[in-house]
Amino acid sequence: MSPFDQQESRSDDPCGSPSDRRGFLRDGLMAVAALAALGVTADRLEALTRSYATGSADGDELRYPIPSTDGATIDSANDVIVARYEGAVHAFVLECPHRGTDVEWQGDRGRFYCPKHKSTFRPEGSLIAGKAERGLDRYPVRRDGDEVVVDTSQKIRSTNAEAWAAARFTL
């Protein structure tokens, strides 16, 4: 038995067998190639963060700190997502417009995802694919100093294109 065969058969090897490592590298390279084909760079993925917060309420308005980096802040207590993406801030209803399941932020893929029926949405809320028939519903937002003020009294559907596009502010 060669030293290579001995290493491959060791059960205490934390890296697994060489064939496991090759599979890991192959799968990783395929994922990187797919992301590169979509124009996603490593620095862009690093910047897409997720955090959790609870907004301070003032009637139908909730206040959150302006996110310091691109990504999503999820307030599950109030069913709100505050997202910063490419110099703009948006606020969304946490629920998928298809059947009301809470969407998840997948920062490594740069998208929102509904685990119930597999709908996917871009960071600014528009629909990519899935059973949902429209993008994520937005709340009107405005900037007040270093805070995002979210008006939860009205939900704006992406089918109302003009109002949906206006429900954001740029940094």
Residue closest to 155 by CA, chosen among 78, 87, 70? 78
Res 158 pLDDT > 70: yes
Res 144 pLDDT > 90: yes
The separation between CA 99 and the C-alpha centre of its own chain, rounded to angstroms, equals 19
Pairwise pLDDT comparison (129 vs 50), residue with the higher score: 129
| Cα(36)–Cα(78) distance, integer angstroms | 36
Give residue 60's pLDDT. 86
pLDDT tens for 51-110 read 444 555 566 899 999 999 999 999 999 999 999 999 999 999 999 999 889 999 999 999
Q: Which residues contact 25 (CB under 8 A, 6 or more apart)?
A: none
Give residue 7's pLDDT. 37
Res 127 pLDDT > 90: yes
| Dihedral of the alpha carbons of 64, 69, 72, 77, in degrees to the nearest 10 | -30
Give residue 23's pLDDT. 61
For residue 37, what is the enclosing H or E element? helix 18-37
Q: Which residues contact 116 (CB under 8 A, 6 or more apart)?
A: 96, 98, 99, 101
For residue 34, what is the enclosing H or E element? helix 18-37
pLDDT tens for 5-44 read 333 333 444 444 555 666 655 665 555 555 555 555 544 4
Give residue 46's pLDDT. 43
Give residue 102's pLDDT. 95
Using DSSP, state whether 122 is helix, strand or coil.
Answer: coil
